[in-house]
A = this chain, B = another copy of it.
Amino acid sequence: MKHITTLLSLAVALSAYCGKYTAYVNPSIGTGAVENSLSGNCYPGATVPFGMVQLSPDTQAAPDWDKASGYDYNDTHTCGFSHTRLSGTGACDLIDLLLMPSVDSSVWSALDHSKEKASPGYYSLELDGGILAELTATPRTGIHRYTYPKGCRQRLYIDLDHSAPKGSWDRRIIQSQLRVTGPQTIEGYRVMTGWAKLRRVYFHIELSRPMASCSLLSADRDYGRAAVANGNNLKAWVDFDPDGSDCVVVKVGLSTTSLANARANMAHEAPGWDFDGFVRRADAVWDGMLGRIEVKGDSTEMQKFYTALYHTMIQPNVISDINGEYTSTDYSTQKMPHGQQYYTTFSLWDTFRAAHPLYTIIAPEMDAAFVNSMLAHFDSYGYLPIWSLWGQDNYCMIGNHAIPVVADAVLKGIGGIDPERALRACVASATTVHPGSPFDVWEEYGYMPEDLQSQSVSITLEQSFDDWCVAQLASRLESDSVARHFAIRSRSFANLYDAGSGFFRGRTSDGRWVEPFDPLRYGANGGNPYTEGNAWQYLWYVPHDVPALIELLGGRRKFVDRLDAFFSLTESSGAKNDNASGFIGQYVHGNEPSHHVAYLYNYAGKPQKTQDLVHKICTELYNNSSSGYAGNDDCGEMSSWFVFSSMGFYPVNPVSGEYSIGSPLFDRVAIRLASGRTFEVRVHRKGCHGHRIKAMRLNGKAHLRYVLRHSDIMAGGVLDVYM
């Protein structure tokens, strides 16, 4: 029933503003689990591609964990609209500056999905008392339009205290300010620490109509009509004269560096009061980005596709101002080189797998911007980010997966990146001891001993891959000794393979296997050799040398047997990790370590098994409801898997320049490249539901390997796939 509601409300929304591609986006996908299924921790609110502002309703007083985007489709009430958030993460942060219109003193309203509309860059909700709240955004400005019912009070609540839970991640507001600077302007800032260690958020609010009054208050003080309040739990009530107009437009410009820049950002991006114009512009920007891939096929699948593609471009997020200034990792204000912007929200353990590879195809200019932002992060921090949140590393997850992103961009020849600086950054990130990366230990033992570095199996496997990436980059840049050193390190994974059990297993520093061993037992984020998974799920992570993995496992036949077992073994042992969901046997589509595994059959001569599984995952583990994802979307990574796989290929090794071919979901895919060329996948089906490939032709020539090269795509052309 809820599915239907979602689609209905979507339909209404899209009648107002929709481009050719945005028409297919359903922002409520992934926003809430229904009936024992899963969600994606996405949100339905207004944002533009890679913007600083994510303006969306919050449905919790202090959102966290399974409500990490601030919104859960299953919640029944909202406390208003805050301006920043994460999409698809497992932990919550940001959630800055909540605004809520009201006709009385209530600051919560029922959330009725039948009164909710959402499309890219637009969100609206009819609130209690009949107030229509509409939201849109530019990159650094959130824009609200509130239409109050006639004859009612017209109030606006501003909550600068609202955030993810205080105390969690040592979260607290250190200082904040609310200041009435004119009859139609309010400014202020909030400095807080949390999952991101210390963020400064400056805001400049402009109102389309003068305030009749503004009262500042906090939990412990009523500031009355004071023009300014400084404190750490500030709120305000603004009243408008109801005789003036029914409608108020509220624009909120943000900056990480200063009030002056918050003002300048708004002045540049959002002059005037044409709310509908801002909505049209946001829709047009989205439509342009989404149109970089055109798919044709079943309309439900097209909704899934364009919503997934939309989710891949909600982040990374710009946090530099229009003049290029940003808050550096060291909390100083720095400026990007002319014409460049600084981006954050790099959930790299997730996004190095498919999201960044996707950007290298459809948005290479953005990939360059992301890589140059990572290199700026490296300049001040000393090594590349693990997980960059509002410009700060929160060290979430393991490995150093900025390395594959940076290396891949250079290896693929993406313009505007200094290759030598990239190599310096990668080498520093693979040699400088830092949390989760004791490289002195790594160099000494050739693996991470569990007694010296927990999550040792997962780190050993993933760091081996990162090391391979450094080697590839060094080799390309003719740094031969560096390349040799990291090539050796990249084979470290083999040191943890236990031929007896047939698994990668934890070892201690004395060389002994960690006992007891249970390949079904899950680890979480420390205290166990496996990260958010078990030995079965971490059996497959050697993307840079699948042949070596096949050999370790006893050859192709045994490899296929193990894969078959993996995809069918439903036993479990003890509690599963919270991130383990979307099961096919031990395969867990809800979390990233499994994401490449369906494609591994290709490497053992069993492409039809890959095709079967990929088709099954695309059609069964993604849907167009609020519980459309099999797990957290993880900043677009779950979505990127779908975008790739539904087009028919996937980057098993994201830095190899090759994609492994699966099973295209659409009749036709056209990737419009920055060069002006187009790469097409044309599917020729015999039966209605055929998903197994019988033959392929690339640019008219028979294509025998289940591999597509990056260079094939970028050159433009046609892959004909016969099902």
Binding site for B on A (CB under 8 A): 170, 172, 174-175, 177, 179, 189, 191, 193, 197-198, 200, 202, 221-224, 226-231, 257-260, 330-334, 381-383, 392-393, 428, 432-435, 438, 440
A172 vs chain B, min Cβ distance (A): 8
CA distance A565 to B223 in the complex (A): 42
20 examples of A-B residue contacts, CB within 8 angstroms: A170-B172, A174-B198, A175-B197, A175-B198, A177-B330, A177-B381, A177-B382, A189-B330, A189-B331, A200-B332, A202-B330, A202-B332, A221-B433, A224-B440, A226-B432, A227-B382, A227-B428, A257-B332, A258-B330, A259-B330
CA distance A355 to B170 in the complex (A): 40
Interface pair A228/B383, CB less than 8 Å apart: yes
Which residues of B have CB within 8 Å of A333?
Answer: 257-258, 332-333
Question: Which of A189, A222, A382 gathers the greatest number of chain B CB atoms within 10 Å?
Answer: A382
| Closest B residue, CB atoms, query A382 | B228
Interface pair A193/B174, CB less than 8 Å apart: yes
Interface pair B330/A434, CB less than 8 Å apart: no
A424 vs chain B, min Cβ distance (A): 12
Which residues of B have CB within 8 Å of A228?
Answer: 381-383, 432
CA distance A120 to B163 in the complex (A): 49
Question: Which of A179, A191, A229, A330 gathers the greatest number of chain B CB atoms within 10 Å?
Answer: A330
Interface pair A331/B200, CB less than 8 Å apart: yes
Interface pair A230/B381, CB less than 8 Å apart: yes
A484 vs chain B, min Cβ distance (A): 21
| Closest B residue, CB atoms, query A393 | B230
CA distance A200 to B202 in the complex (A): 18
Which residues of B have CB within 8 Å of A259?
Answer: 330, 332
CA distance A189 to B433 in the complex (A): 19
Which residues of B have CB within 8 Å of A428?
Answer: 227
A721 vs chain B, min Cβ distance (A): 48
CA distance A583 to B383 in the complex (A): 60
Which residues of B have CB within 8 Å of A383?
Answer: 228
Which residues of B have CB within 8 Å of A438?
Answer: 221
Interface pair A226/B174, CB less than 8 Å apart: no
CA distance A257 to B333 in the complex (A): 8
A502 vs chain B, min Cβ distance (A): 34
CA distance A383 to B435 in the complex (A): 43
CA distance A382 to B189 in the complex (A): 13
CA distance A382 to B331 in the complex (A): 24
Which residues of B have CB within 8 Å of A179?
Answer: 382
- Given contact pairs A230-B393, A231-B435, a sample of 5 additional A-B residue pairs in the complex whose CB atoms are under 8 Å apart: A177-B381, A200-B332, A226-B433, A228-B432, A258-B333
CA distance A382 to B226 in the complex (A): 10
| Closest B residue, CB atoms, query A228 | B382
| Closest B residue, CB atoms, query A381 | B230
A21 vs chain B, min Cβ distance (A): 39
In order of increasing CB-CB distance, the 5 nearest A-B pairs are A228-B382, A258-B332, A226-B433, A223-B433, A226-B432
CA distance A438 to B228 in the complex (A): 13
A389 vs chain B, min Cβ distance (A): 13
CA distance A547 to B629 in the complex (A): 80
Interface pair B257/A221, CB less than 8 Å apart: no
CA distance A381 to B179 in the complex (A): 9
- Given A174-B197, A382-B179, the answer on whether A191 and B227 have CB atoms closer than 8 Å is no
CA distance A9 to B226 in the complex (A): 56
Which residues of B have CB within 8 Å of A202?
Answer: 330, 332
A256 vs chain B, min Cβ distance (A): 10
| Closest B residue, CB atoms, query A231 | B435
Question: Which of A179, A224, A332 gathers the greatest number of chain B CB atoms within 10 Å?
Answer: A332
CA distance A626 to B223 in the complex (A): 45
| Closest B residue, CB atoms, query A188 | B330
Which residues of B have CB within 8 Å of A330?
Answer: 177, 189, 202, 258-259
Interface pair B432/A221, CB less than 8 Å apart: no
Which residues of B have CB within 8 Å of A433?
Answer: 221-224, 226, 229
A463 vs chain B, min Cβ distance (A): 16
A388 vs chain B, min Cβ distance (A): 13
Which residues of B have CB within 8 Å of A227?
Answer: 382, 428, 432
CA distance A245 to B224 in the complex (A): 67
Interface pair A230/B198, CB less than 8 Å apart: no
Question: Which of A179, A226, A231, A257 gathers the greatest number of chain B CB atoms within 10 Å?
Answer: A226
Interface pair B224/A382, CB less than 8 Å apart: no
| Closest B residue, CB atoms, query A330 | B189
| Closest B residue, CB atoms, query A189 | B330
CA distance A383 to B229 in the complex (A): 10
Which of B193, B221, B440 has a CB less than 8 Å from the CB of A435? B221
Which residues of B have CB within 8 Å of A191?
Answer: 198, 331
